[in-house]
Amino acid sequence: MSQKGLPTIAPYALPEAASLPAPRGGGWPLEPGRAALLVHDMQRYFLRPYPAGEAPLAPVVAHIAQLLAAARRAGVPVFYTAQHVNQDRRDRGLQADLWGPGMSDAGAHQPILPELAPTPEDFVLTKHRYSAFQRSNLERLMRARGRDQLIICGVYAHIGCMLTAADAFMRDIHPFFVADAVADFSRAKHDMAVEYVAAVCGVPCATAQVVARLEGQG
């Protein structure tokens, strides 16, 4: 078994819109009246491995803030995922075998980054597994609001973000993977996640493109 826990992450540049792979079949148009925004796992625990003030995290945080502002202006529902501290080993399941016990300090680990903090109108879902849909009511809350498109941002691109996109696709929900608003362990893993989504389940896009669509300019 390899070493458990999160790696140290070296700085790397985010992909640009012009370099994104084309989605299989041409993709779907993002429609604000059908969309929801998911901010995935932007908690202090998961962000500790990144060098402060550098790419990829610094621009990703700025881009997520832009997505949040545009979504709220457009009346697009906003969802967050957040794990809890001191998870029971039986509840944590196989994740403990790969990543260890997880969060242990409620003050240092669990909070969502303050500059991306949810508002009272947003939904904060308890995260149990890689996909945000697993053991949550994300799909039910989306369906009740007539939403069948999901804009995905956050960490980590090749783990929870990518598998949430795949899970959304299998539920007939269109995934939009914001390639410059997700971060990963490395640029190689980041690119792999973007390429996977393009090839099998969703639409890679850039923050500026999503904001333009939410503001009716795209």
88 labelled catalytic: no
Token output for 16: 């640009």
Token output for 1: 């078994």
Q: What is the pLDDT of residue 128?
A: 85
* pTM for the whole structure: 0.93
Active-site position among 41, 148, 167, 184? 41
Q: What is the rounded CA–CA span in Å between residue 23 and residue 83? A: 31
CB 112 within 8 A of CB 80: yes
Nearest to 24 by CA among 199, 163, 170: 199
Mean of the pLDDT values across residues 184-193? 98
Give the other-Cβ count within 10 Å of 193's Cβ.
Answer: 23
Please give the distance of CA 58 from its chain centroid, rounded to a whole number: 15
Token output for 100: 């260890």
User: Among residues of the chain, what percentage have pLDDT more than 90?
Assistant: 77
Give the other-Cβ count within 10 Å of 189's Cβ.
Answer: 17
